[in-house]
Amino acid sequence: MLFKEITIIDENLDAKENMVVGVTDDTITYIGDKLPENLSGYGRVYDGKNKILMTGLFNTHCHMPMTLLRGYAENLKLQEWLYDKIFPFEAKINNDDSYYASLLAIAEMVSTGTVSVTDMYAHMESNAKACADSGFKANISNGLMAFDDTPFIKNKNHLEEEACALKFKDSFNGRIKIDKSVHAVYTSNRKTVEDVACFAKENNSIVHIHLSETETEVKECLEKYGVTPVKYFYNAGLLDSHVVAAHCVCLTDEDMDILAKSGTFAVHNPISNLKLASGVADIPKMQEKGIKIALGTDGTASNNNLDLFEEIKMCALINKGVKLNPLSVSTKDVLRYATINGALAQRRYDCGALKVGNKADLIVLDTSSPSMQPVHNACNNLVYSASGRDVCLTMIDGKIVYENNEFKTIDIERAIYEVNKSASRIKKELCL
């Protein structure tokens, strides 16, 4: 495929007008301001008038099957929300429920510009299958919980992760990766965390965790263990691995120093954190200390959508307001969080930037809508004006999965039907 006369956001996050980008198989093979000599080698030619071409977005913290819970539990604090509403509902979800709920989540993401997700949830084989079937990229893990002394090697969550790792290894062109996970400090015990840390280090695994999401979480950890959640995981050896830590709202200066030194990725989920009244992560300070920052939506139960362009705008705005400083987070900063940093968090080193040799994970946005005109600076429009509704094409590994309101790899009517059927059944089982 050849995109011509199109505005691009290049690998340095600069906008360039009237450019040409060529894709061969699953790879970006040409970028220039003139047409390549061998036009026939590219097949379809795409007219880029009034369009922006950029790398796809990376959602580095999500719970895909939670589309089943969209709008279900509202106006509650995190602990009440989680234990009184979410956990009882989730206990009724089966593999088929999870598969179609994940498909619905993927459809929402590809139609709003996301090409890859870091997901933590149960029924992970069903979730991974949904990603494989739809052509999506994903780092999948099972939110490991440990409330008793069951040995780590017999933990159901660990066993499911290992079974998935074996099943999806070296398949789907590397699109599906299986990570390790510890759900949180308040759903784990020290011995299990230490065992996960050893396993991850020995196997060079990525570890996905929830970290310091609320003041309550930090306070209870201090009371029980005498340290913050960051120090708890650090002392257990978990931060010696490649860790992707969601939220990071309530951090001390020492916590930030530990995260920076360990190379931990802090995933900012601004809308979810606001909705659950968890607080505002200090992104400018984390960035000053050298912490690597990425962006996530969290699940639809606490967001309530998976449009990463909303997170981009909120990330750019909220810290300006809190800090009373319009320079606290720049346009390039937040675009970097949603693209190259997300790809690095997933260890996808040939993704996340529009450059020759990278995977063709590309999105096109239409700038002809009233809300996107005029275009003085394309990057500014992407951060402050765009929404997922402006995405008109999504390509993953050189394959178009969404174009002009049409899903190429997902039966969207079937997914919506199945999710509504599952949600109705579960509510009846809960006598709601």
Write out the two tokens for 370.
């009233």
Q: What is the pLDDT of residues 297-327, one digit of tens each?
A: 999 999 999 999 999 999 999 999 999 999 9
Residue pLDDT, tens place only, 31-82 = 999 999 888 788 899 999 999 999 999 999 999 999 999 999 999 888 899 8
| The domain boundary residue, chosen from 322, 345, 368 | 345
The reported pLDDT for the residue numbered 32 is 97
Do residues 174 and 287 both lie within one domain? yes
Q: What is the pLDDT of residue 207?
A: 98
| CATH for 378 | 2.30.40.10
Cα angle vertex 73, ends 293, 66, to 5°?
Answer: 55
In a domain, 279, yes or no: yes
CA–CA gap between residue 256 and residue 252 (Å, rounded): 6
Q: Note the pLDDT tens digit of each residue in 368-404.
A: 999 999 999 999 999 999 999 999 999 999 999 999 9
> Sorting pLDDT into bands at 50, 70 and 90, what band is 293?
very high
Domain match, 329 and 375 both: no
> What pLDDT does 411 receive?
98
Same domain as 239, residue 144: yes
Q: Are residues 118 and 255 in the same domain?
A: yes
The CATH number covering residue 311 comes to: 3.20.20.140
Decide if 61 is inside a domain. Answer: yes
Helices first, then strands: H and E counts in the chain: 16, 18
Name the band, by pLDDT with cuts 50, 70 and 90, for residue 222: very high
- Does the residue 360 lie in any domain? yes
Judgement on whether residues 239 and 284 belong to the same structural domain of the protein:
yes
Residue 415 lies in a domain: no
Q: Is residue 274 part of a domain?
A: yes
Among 5-9, 38-42, 239-243, 427-431, name the one with the lowest average pLDDT: 38-42
Residues 207-234 have a mean pLDDT of 97
* 426 in a structural domain: no
Same domain, 333 and 364: no
Residue 170: pLDDT band (50, 70, 90) is confident
101 and 19 in a common domain: no
Closest to 422 in 3D by CA, of 106, 90, 157: 90
pLDDT per residue as tens digits for the range 244-262: 999 999 999 999 999 999 9
The rounded percent of the chain whose pLDDT value lies above 70 is 100
Residue 329 scores a pLDDT above 90:
yes
What are the E-state strand segments in 191-315? Answer: 206-211, 242-247, 265-268, 292-295
Residue 339: which pLDDT band, with cuts at 50, 70 and 90?
very high
**Spacing of C-alpha 186 from chain mean position:** 23
Total domain count for the chain?
A: 2
Which of 345, 366, 388 is at the close of a domain? 345
Q: Determine the average pLDDT of the residues in 282-307.
A: 97
What strands lie across the sheet with 137-141, from one edge to the other?
57-62, 114-120, 137-141, 176-178
103 and 150 share one domain: yes
Report, as an integer, the average pLDDT of 276-299: 97
Asked whether residue 262 falls in the same domain as residue 187, the answer is yes
pLDDT at position 39 is 82
* pLDDT reported for residue 79: 84
Average confidence (pLDDT) over 4-19: 98
Verify that 402 and 258 share a domain, yes or no. Answer: no
The confidence band for 149, taking pLDDT boundaries of 50, 70 and 90, is confident
Q: Is residue 43 in some structural domain?
A: yes
Query: Average pLDDT for residues 291-295, to the nearest whole number?
Result: 98
Which range of residues forms the domain containing residue 6?
A: 2-55+356-407
Domain shared by 158 and 236, yes or no: yes
413 inside domain: no
Q: Quick one: 264 and 225 in the same domain?
A: yes
405, 113, 214, 332: CA torsion to nearest 10: -150
Query: What pLDDT score was predicted for residue 6?
Result: 98
pLDDT reading at 189 higher than 90: yes
